[in-house]
Copies of this chain bind each other. A is one copy, B any other.
Amino acid sequence: MTLSVTQWGCSLIPSPPMTQRVFYFGRGAAEGDPARRDLLGGKGAGLAEMTQLGLPVPAGLTISTEGCFAFLQHGELPIDLKAEVEKSLSRVEAASGSTFGDAANPLLVSVRSGARASMPGMMDTILNLGLTSQTVEGLAKRSKNRRFALDAYRRLIHMYGTVALSVGKAQFEHALDEMRVKVAHARNLDVGRLNSEELKRKVPDSEIGEAELEQLVSLYKAIVLQTTGQPFPDDAREQLWGAITAVFRSWNNPRAIYYRRMHDIPDAWGTACNVQSMVFGNLGENSATGVAFTRNPSTGEQALYGEWLPNAQGEDVVAGIRTPMPITALASLDAPETSLERKMPQAFAQLVKLADQLELHFRDMQDLEFTIQDGQLYMLQCRAAKRTSAAAVRIAVEFAKEGRLSKEEAVLRVDPHSLDQLLHPTLDPTATKKTLAKGLPASPGAASGQIVFTADEAEKKAGQGIAVVLVRIETSPEDIHGMKAARGILTARGGMTSHAAVVARGMGKPCVAGTSAISIDYAHEQMAVTLYADDGMPFDTITLKKGDLITLDGGAGMVYQGAIPTVPAALSAEFAELMEWADGARTMKVRANADTPLDARTARAFGAEGIGLCRTEHMFFDERRIAAMREMILAETVEQRETALVKLLPHQRNDFIGIFHEMRGLPVTIRLLDPPLHEFLPTTAKQVDDLAKTMGVSPARLGQRTKELHEFNPMLGHRGCRLAITYPEIYAMQIRAILEAAFSVARDGKGGVFPEIMIPLALSRGELDKMRVIVSRVVKDLNASDESVQFTFGTMIELPRAAIVADELAESAEFFSFGTNDLTQTTMGLSRDDAGKFLGAYVESGILPKDPFVSIDVAGVGALVSMAIERGRKTRPQLKLGICGEHGGDPASITFFQDVGLDYVSCSPFRVPIARLAAAQAALVQRGKKVNSSTV
């Protein structure tokens, strides 16, 4: 390569294809294909479709996302694009019988963004375009209402000024407030100390007369001139191009970018832009505006649901000054006479009819915007309505029962992620909240409690019946008892797969992790919380002490001050029905990760079809056991170690007995000891002293041994089956405990005990063969001749090498379970405990599409999973394949696992229903039933 600017200085940008980029709609005909949401955006597609259905839609045009690309590429609207707009605009003029910019009979238009996915409020909208000093008078004459025309003009200057010309909205609002004060004074109202909101209520817009509006228009124009150095454009076309430019530019405004990151919307989609003839809901008492849902979006109940305002524009409904009224008489129990149903029965009847028509047509609940101008109903928007999880489930099931959807389609309609809401308590949506901080949504559910900073304190207070939230910089296995006792867990560090997150999800407790805004001071039992404004800048710090109340929303990753009431989880009959349909569609089994009999019972209640991961190390953190565990680890001879193991054996055996009982009839995969031994070591001086006494060695010697166990990269250290290569007696004890427990449970002759012994961190067949030898020895030792217990022997695939030599591993292993957490760490060279510092930057800059610890990295980690499956099955066609990493509960990952042909996924008990639904969807998609893209 030669060092020259031409080669390195810029990149080539491909020319856009010269296809149609502007699409007219109006009078029953629409050029755009409603199926092309990628081109028309959601709003444009909805308008086109409603038009084609013959609904009353004001005429307009949609500039496609390709127009957006053309703009973004050139930094301005290309001339040929403008020409296309002009061409369609003349058809709009014809349809509306008015002319854009015409002094006598002016056409007014709105300009609105509309991306493929709904991004409410993120981008810009301008109404009443086309009003100038001349056309305003034309509008006044035509509407016979000069006050109305001037009010529209004032609104235009305000909106256009702020959106297209970057004038601060405070200036306009200040001028309006001044005018209200003036009006108040004229009426002898005392408004001396009222703030803007109070003033607005005292002197509503309707009180501002024609003369005042005329003054306001002048004032607004002066503000524009003063701020921008240019007069407010008095040319309709100049306004139009400016508004379209502003809409396209708003695709890349910071809040839109932020929203896209949050909702996984690709930057490359771009937005469409809709230019539509204005209709006015504020032309008088025979005009109105409103929004409607075809069903109740909270409960899913089948009834038109919505709000309206007479004599108002759409923005008035949002602004919250006038309280909108229910559409139906039934919903407005207190004052049925204020309902649209009673006030404008004809328009209402038409709305009901259209709503039903649209729901039938789209086969989904719709969210509608409408305006009534002089008694005439116009439809301005329709789209699939957002709804609560409970509503989503009910609607899907009822649609199926009404014959509008097949059961399979109903299963495909519910976002598996949303089930989290149903399975955990949630915050009371009506409560007011004071946000403290935002962290990672590590484990869903909501909980309030007093802050405690230690696990012991959590246990103590919980014992006294006090609800507590355990707050830690990060949690460690030693905190388990405190996590059990707490209602929720909050950590300052750690990601979605940190210890706190994994354990909390397992327990079904809310957890907010990696909350970098909090800084914990254990010594003083307090934490400082940096408060951030919406723009991401810190503006204050507050200190919370032990005993202060906080509330966590683990599903959203939010931390609130004080105790906020919660709503308990409640599973509906529709939920049970939907899950049954899902189970019918599913081909992969769903198991749960469970370490205790209690977890196992929970998992089974949620529909788990076995245990895919029983971590034996968690059993050792119990206070009565950890001493023996430490003794085992710090042993310097085989004899010392075996003495300690003898103490641990009965505990392990009892754990397994409990689990086998709970899971009778279902398989239980037990992973032998996995983590680096030093995770179990004593940390306090007292623990060291106690242990030294038990072991009969000096505390100094014990300290030395502890030091020796230190590792630079414990994730890549002496763990997994490496422990058993050097200390085979550890696994021998565990295998003995498993088999003795299995026999004990199977003694009643009822069968149904299916242990699966799983070896962690294998990298070669040699390891597995050595482990098999240990199994053989234990079997021989137990002198087990009866055949009442069937067990299998398998391995985790969690190292790239294991995936590569899977053909060899399958010679020894009867099953594989993918440990995709560790496989992600090694394949990508990412420590999940440390990646927090830079993974955000990777996702934000688009280098990685998603956090690979949340959703499997298909291109990298996924390729190794595929390779291992192919090679493993080549050696052993009946090889059983599952996954027990965190990805087992992630719908996107489950789709991948379905595609590559796993036999089962395993996830934490509370995610089992999510996995069941996701697995059903994956299976249905695989069978060629496409997800209706408008509903997901």
- Give a binary string over A824-837; 1 marks a CB under 8 Å from any B CB, 0 the rest: 01111111011101
**Alpha-carbon gap, A838 to B798, bound state (A):** 19
Q: Is the CB of A716 within 8 A of B787?
A: no
A827: chain B residues within 8 A (beta carbon): 799-801, 804, 826
Asked if A793 contacts B1 (CB within 8 A), the reply is: yes
Q: Is A842 an interface residue (CB 8 A)?
A: yes
In the complex, chain B residues whose CB is within 8 Å of the CB of A838: 718, 722, 725-726
A9 contact from B8, B779, B835, Cβ within 8 A: B779
Q: Give residues 855-870 of A contacting B (CB, 8 Å).
A: 857, 859-861, 863-864
Within 8 A of B (CB), among A889-905: none
**Interface pair B716/A715, CB less than 8 Å apart:** yes
Given A725-B838, A763-B828, A826-B827, is A770 in contact with B845 using a C-beta cutoff of 8 Å? yes
Nearest CB of chain B from residue A706's CB, rounded to whole Å? 14
In the bound complex, how far is the Cα of B739 from the Cα of A275, in angstroms?
52
Known interface pairs A4-B785, A841-B726; A860-B801 also in contact (CB < 8 Å): yes
When chains A and B are docked, how far (Å) is the Cα of A713 from the Cα of B826? 11
Q: In this assembly, does A330 line the interface, its C-beta being within 8 Å of a C-beta of chain B?
A: no
B799 close to A829 (CB less than 8 A): yes
Say yes or no for A209: interface residue by CB 8 A criterion: no
Bound Cα distance A804, B857 (Å): 12
Report how many residues on chain A are interfacial, defined by Cβ distance under 8 Å: 75
Set of chain B residues within 8 Å of A846, measured between Cβ atoms: 766
The docked-state distance in angstroms from the alpha carbon of A716 to that of B834 is 8
* B-side contacts of A799, CB under 8 Å: 827-829
Is A936 close to B, CB under 8 A? no
Please tell me if the beta carbons of A713 and B833 are within 8 angstroms of each other in the complex.
Answer: yes
A262 on interface, CB distance cutoff 8 Å: no
Given A770-B847, A834-B717, A845-B766, is A784 in contact with B828 using a C-beta cutoff of 8 Å? Answer: no
From the candidates B712, B798, B800, B859, name the one contacting A860 in the complex (CB within 8 A). B800
Given contacts A8-B775, A780-B5, contact A716 B837 (CB under 8 A): no
Whether the Cβ atoms of B863 and A804 lie closer than 8 Å is yes
Give the residues in chain B near A861, CB-CB below 8 Å.
801
Question: Are A791's CB and B3's CB within 8 A?
Answer: yes
Q: A767 contacts the other chain (Cβ, under 8 Å)? A: yes
Contacting residues of chain A (751-770) with chain B, CB-CB under 8 angstroms: 761, 763-764, 766-767, 770
In whole angstroms, how far apart are the Cα atoms of A5 and B739 in the complex?
A: 13
Instruction: Mark A residues whose CB is within 8 Å of B.
Output: 1-5, 8-10, 711-718, 722, 725-726, 739, 742, 761, 763-764, 766-767, 770, 772, 775-776, 779-780, 783-787, 789-793, 798-801, 804-805, 808, 814, 822, 825-831, 833-835, 837-838, 841-842, 845-848, 857, 859-861, 863-864
A-B contact pairs, 18 of them (CB 8 A): A4-B779, A5-B783, A8-B776, A712-B831, A713-B716, A713-B833, A713-B834, A717-B835, A718-B837, A725-B841, A763-B829, A766-B842, A766-B846, A799-B827, A800-B828, A801-B857, A804-B863, A805-B859
